Chain A
Amino acid sequence: MTPAIELHGVDYAYDGGPPVLRDACLTVEEGEFVAIAGPNGGGKTTLLRILLGLARPAAGTALLFGEPAHRFSRRATLGYLAQRSRLGTDAPATVREVVSAGRLAAGGLLGPLRAGDKAIVARAIADVGLEEKADAPLATLSGGQQQRAFIAKALAAEPSLLVLDEPTAGVDPGAQESLARLLERLHRERQVTVLYVSHEFGAVENVVRRLVLVRGGIVFDGPPSDLPGAWHDPSHVHA
């Protein structure tokens, strides 16, 4: 089977800046649940942007389901939650409106959302446990609930690949645990490939079987139990 994600020898630097990633190689099979961790500025977000085809590597290749990532033909099946997602608007959007926006590409761009798509949106809201808040403005929700709404938005695409950049940042520890459990359940029930970036990965350590540490490249890739003891807090990685 074609892997969901393949990175081969990827180098990357921002305009005129120092190298951010060097010789990064990563293969993720369909149906895997992979956590990505590493220090701030280690290149996690950059790695995601490359594997989603939003940025082109200076060297190496990035493939999505076997196709070049920047020319991937089935984009409507990608669910992406950007880092520190916040609404790009001052209008008081409700949970349902935010989640519906995740159905934009899959449900067609023109006219109102069709009944089938509305049902998919409702299911995504139910899956993250926000039914009761479905028509509340997002600003009236707690930080953890808002992150759930954004996860539901990514789910509304009925994605075959779900990529989440620090979905638990700025959320209290209790909510972090429950978000991690939620992601694990969604992965199991929906059989979706999940790539989950977590700065504080303590919460996922018990959930994932594969952990990737990023620090200017990929410095570790394996089961969390194989991590060298000194590396357990990813914010203090000394590779």
Chain B
Amino acid sequence: MLELDFMRMAFAAGSVVGLLAPAVGFFVVQRRMSLIGDGIGHTAFAGVAFGYLVGLSPVLTALVAAVGGAVAVEWLRARRGTAGDQALALLFYTGLAAGVVLVSAAGRFDAGLFAFLFGAILTVTTSDLVLVAVLGAVGLATIGLLYRALAGIALDEEGAHVAGVPVALLNVLLAALVGLTVAISMRIVGILLVAALMVLPVIAASRVARSMRASFLLALALGLASVWIGLTVSYYGNLAAGGAIVLVAAAFVLAATAAGSVTRGRVPAR
């Protein structure tokens, strides 16, 4: 299958997303904000619709909407403390409703929209791939540079605050990375499923790993494996790629849960 141009493109773009989504998702899950990717996906949808309406590149407008939405949620969460949940709900529904209204205004309830909602990895073009690769590399490099800081905040946010770590700034940066990830993953797994690829490999990894670093690296490996296996299955079975990828990731969670309960039995519980 790799002799086919479009499959090579799909694997290349998918690999970037398979690494970036769990890398960003790792810190989101540790902060118990697993559903933020979903909310951001809905603002990205509004961005796509706005792009249609005014004739700009939907990926670009989605990028702006997703990053802006993510930063807004983080700002609301930090300002309003416990209302993070409600801030997310507001974003989620406003984004979805605005998206639907804008799409109808643009008269674009069509296959192109479908591609953004559910992914259209087999139609990835060279310019898509370049965008995914460049933004993905920026995202991964940022995570690599800030791994220790983000992990430290995940472990003990208040302690980091007392020590003078710029917690608020790093939280906003993480939110922006969530937005970036949603925007570039959209063409691969689709707006409705991108959050799954941010969260499921991380959950699977945390079930079996014995350290935070091992958990992080395993999550990346599982994200990559989900994309590769999912794409292969979808190619030979003629199935929707985004759905196949996420189902593989979900299977990893089940397998890791089973394996984890076996290994955990030997460890003294706390």
Chain A positions near chain B (C-beta within 8 angstroms) = 52, 54, 75-76, 78, 80-82, 85, 87-94, 97-98, 100-102, 104-106, 109-113, 135, 137, 139-143, 146, 153-154, 157
Contact = CB atoms under 8 A, between A and B. Distances in A.
Contact of B156 (A94, A113, A153): A153
A100 B206 CA distance: 19
B165 A92 contact: no
Interface in B165-208: 165-166, 206
A154 B155 CA distance: 13
Contacts, number: 116
Given A92-B215, A93-B212, A78 B162 contact: yes
Residue of B26, B158, B216 with most chain A CB atoms under a 10 A cut-off:
B158
Given A90-B29, A92-B212, A140-B268, A101 B162 contact: no
A98 B151 CA distance: 9
Contact of A80 (B148, B155, B158, B216): B158
A141 B269 CA distance: 8
A193 to B, nearest CB: 15
Given A104-B148, A139-B270, A92 B159 contact: no
Instruction: Give 9 nearest A-B pairs by CB, closest first.
Output: A75-B164, A105-B163, A101-B152, A89-B30, A104-B152, A80-B162, A93-B212, A109-B149, A91-B215
A223 B74 CA distance: 47
B247 interface: no
Residue of A52, A76, A92, A98 with most chain B CB atoms under a 10 A cut-off:
A92
B194 to A, nearest CB: 21
A41 B187 CA distance: 53
10 contacts: A75-B164, A78-B162, A88-B157, A92-B209, A93-B155, A94-B210, A101-B151, A101-B159, A104-B163, A109-B146
Contact of A97 (B145, B155, B165): B155
A113 to B, nearest CB: 7
Given A89-B31, A89-B154, 16 more contacts: A75-B162, A75-B164, A82-B158, A82-B159, A88-B155, A90-B32, A92-B209, A92-B210, A92-B214, A93-B211, A101-B159, A104-B148, A104-B149, A104-B163, A111-B148, A140-B268
B80 interface: no
A102 B165 CA distance: 11
Contacts of B270: 139-143, 146
Nearest to A98: B155
A106 B152 CA distance: 12
A110 B150 CA distance: 10
B161 interface: yes
A110 B151 CA distance: 12
Interface SS of chain B: helix
Nearest to A48: B162
Contacts of A81: 159
B159 A91 contact: no
A98 B166 CA distance: 19
Contacts of B145: 110-111
Interface string B78-90: 0000000000000
B35 interface: no
Nearest to A110: B145
Interface in B126-143: none
Contact of A76 (B26, B164, B215): B164
A87 B30 CA distance: 10
B213 interface: yes
Contacts of A85: 156, 159
Contacts of A75: 162-164
Contacts of B163: 75-76, 78, 80, 102, 104-106, 157
B160 interface: yes
Contacts of A154: 159
B267 interface: yes
